[in-house]
Amino acid sequence: MSEIDTQRRNFLKTSAGAAAVLIAPGFMLFDIAHGKPQGASNKVRWGMLIDTAKCKSGCNDCVTACNRENGLSGGTAATDSQWIRKIELKDISSGREVSLPMMCQHCENPPCVDVCPTNASFKRVDGIVLVDKHRCIGCRYCMMACPYKARSFVHEPLHDQNPDVPRGRGTVESCTLCVHRIDQGGKPACAEACPNNVILFGDLNDADSEIAKKLRSLSSVQIRADLHLNPGVRYQGI
């Protein structure tokens, strides 16, 4: 073997070794990123049952708790974010009055997801409808499409957000069902704060859960059921 051949062989050997060392961190990245495979499960469908008979007119505790949890200003102007609202209904003929909280209904067939041009609006496998703000371009089609008027647009720059709830100007946002709490085994802030236990949170797919039992035994309605969106939030007593 000539001298040049030996040199070439050694060079190739060294390069292969160097390449292996360089690629190794790539494998490490893969291992770490997939270290914890369990995410949201498609066997679960999160939902809420709201008992309007127990909901007190004038009580705003769910709204206050939501604002505090998610860092909303609490303003109700057209340009302020509102993730949950208290609504007073009155039947004119009988005079019967009902008070209820209204928020994103986490539809099974969400129109906001249908219209989103960037796939920012999406439904997680466990039924929670969210906005991926990394993708949201702020076109607000989803706000137009939502029959529940549940979404808000952030008009002004924000500071000092909750580390668990990123929010920013130029994106659309709405009730997340407190997904950061759910992923840690908790329940939404509004359900926790309600003094009258109006809001029952649970897994609609689990036949043994309290919410599924109640839905089986009591009469409840979906708001705008005529649209066949199959919302995850149900109401009783209206």
For position 157 contacting other proteins by CB under 8 A, the verdict is yes
Does 12 participate in binding other proteins (rule CB under 8 A)? no
User: Among 86, 155, 167, 187, which residue sits at the site for other proteins (rule: CB under 8 A)?
Assistant: 167
Where b means 16+ CB within 10 Å and e means fewer, 160-187 reads eeeeeeebeeebbbbbbbbbbbbeeeeb
* Residues 37-66: x where in contact with other proteins by CB under 8 A, - otherwise, as a string: xxxx--------------------------
CA distances from 53 to 16, 62, 196, 235 (A): 73, 16, 10, 10
Dihedral of the alpha carbons of 206, 210, 216, 218, in degrees to the nearest 10: -160
Site string for other proteins, 173-192 (x = CB under 8 A): ------x---x---------
The stretch among 84-92, 122-130, 188-196, 197-205 that binds other proteins (CB under 8 A) is 122-130
Contact by Cβ (8 Å): 48, 62: no
Q: Is residue 16 within the footprint of other proteins (CB under 8 A)?
A: no
**Residue 156 in the binding site for other proteins (CB under 8 A):** no
**Region from 57-65, 165-173, 190-198, 215-223 binding other proteins, contact rule CB under 8 A:** 165-173
| Binding-residue total with other proteins (CB under 8 A) | 39
Determine if 160 is a binding residue for other proteins (CB under 8 A).
yes
Which of 168, 210, 221, 224: binder of other proteins (CB under 8 A)? Answer: 168
Q: Which stretch binds other proteins (CB under 8 A): 142-150, 159-167, 207-215, 229-237?
A: 159-167
Q: Does 73 bind other proteins (CB under 8 A)?
A: no
Using only C-alpha atoms, what is the Rg of the chain? 25
Q: Which residues bind other proteins (CB under 8 A)?
A: 4, 7-8, 11, 18, 25, 28-29, 32-33, 35-40, 68, 122, 124-126, 130, 132-134, 157-158, 160-164, 166-169, 171, 179, 183
